[in-house]
Amino acid sequence: LDASVGEKVNLAVCRGGERVEVQLTVQDQHDLIPHDFIDLAFGIFHNVPYQTAQKHHIPLKGIYVAHAGFVFGESVTSDAVILELNGTPCDDLHAFESALQQIPNKEYFSVGWMLPKSNMERNMCMSEVKMLRHWSTCRAWSLDPVCDTRSWTWRSLGVREGTKMEGVEEQGQEQHAEDADAAPEQTPDSQASRPEVEASPKKKARKSKVEGALAAVEPSLCAVTFRTVQQFDMDLIVDSENQEGDMLFCRGAGVVLDADAGLILTDRTTVPQLLGDIEVMLGESCRSASVLFMHPIHSLVVLKVDPLPEGGSGLPFGRSATFEEESALEPGDECEIVGMDPRGKPFSQKLKVAEVRMGNFEARWPPRWHERNLEAIILAESPTHM
């Protein structure tokens, strides 16, 4: 077989008690070992090696995730196999590279993947992840087999020309609105030619009733998501859910301080450190943000929403909140708490104040930031949706 690499050999096998003769091509085992990989946002991706295919009994196609990194770590774990990006099959590294170059920075895209070692996830799973090219240069590495030192060479992978960038979606919506305005109105004759439309009763869109404090605060309330990779953990309190993953997540709420300037107030439980990717979502608007100010003692963080690219809408981000200077609560008072549920939806709930006292804030070990020297309002019961 060693002398017949790349050629066909005759093979006789016994299948079901019958002799079957087949011709097979002899492959070079060294070619089945990856000699190229792509480095994207601290993630490493290469072709499926034959050792993995043999161990888990999977075909030699797809992209093996050696390390998920910042982009794919949100939904895909290490040791997974990527099968497609945005519906485009990724059977080899060349197809994976071509699909990545079609995705602009900070845009969400779909990824189809499977986990060979899992009985529950051996079939293709679909997830949404966010492209984050600004964390590191996206590079393709290749091993030089001719050089005696077997050195690695790399080349930069950018976004291909003509790829839709941020802000194009808004322009497309404006164009769609212009086309709708330019469309001719329907005349009674044209409506009579489609009786099935007239026969169907018109349904009024149901509007959810928002009352009380939620109605006043909702235009100024946004969901905040913080994500970072494990090696960037400097001041995070890692729970069991995040401990096993390649990325760390924190989710919470924010309040719009200045809609025109794009200033958001949140807490250090939601945004525990500066190094990470921050995303704020208010209604249907989703924007990236960065830390403008972090209080050194108390749990106060001010975020600055990133400006939209050229051609984007210059509308304010939400509505600026108004704060009352004197709103002291006493034990026994009824208050209405407004926040975000685990799905990022605003909610409100009326609760009673149990007591007002100095808070007992837990100290962390190893030593990390924790709240201190602050008066706390203790509620009679915990909110059910937070």
pLDDT-derived band at 241 (thresholds 50, 70, 90) equals: low
Per-residue pLDDT, 248: 83
Per-residue pLDDT, 243: 61
Residue 295 has pLDDT above 90, yes or no: yes
Specify which of 158-167, 181-190, 216-225, 241-250 reaches the highest per-range mean pLDDT: 216-225
Quote the mean pLDDT of the chain: 82
Instruction: Give the model confidence (pLDDT) of 136-163 as tens digits.
Output: 889 999 998 776 677 889 999 877 665 5
Instruction: Give the model confidence (pLDDT) of 104-133 as tens digits.
Output: 988 899 999 999 998 888 999 999 999 988
- Residue 85, phi-psi category: left (phi > 0), alpha (psi -120 to 50), beta (remainder): beta
Residue 236 has pLDDT above 90, yes or no: no
pLDDT-derived band at 56 (thresholds 50, 70, 90) equals: very high
Identity of residue 58? I
Per-residue pLDDT, 28: 86
Please choose, from the candidates 372, 377, 376, 378, the residue with its C-alpha nearest in 3D space to the C-alpha of residue 295.
372
Per-residue pLDDT, 184: 45
Residue 199 has pLDDT above 60, yes or no: no
Residue 188 has pLDDT above 70, yes or no: no
Per-residue pLDDT, 385: 73
- Work out whether strand 108-114 and strand 285-294 pair parallel, antiparallel, or are unpaired: unpaired
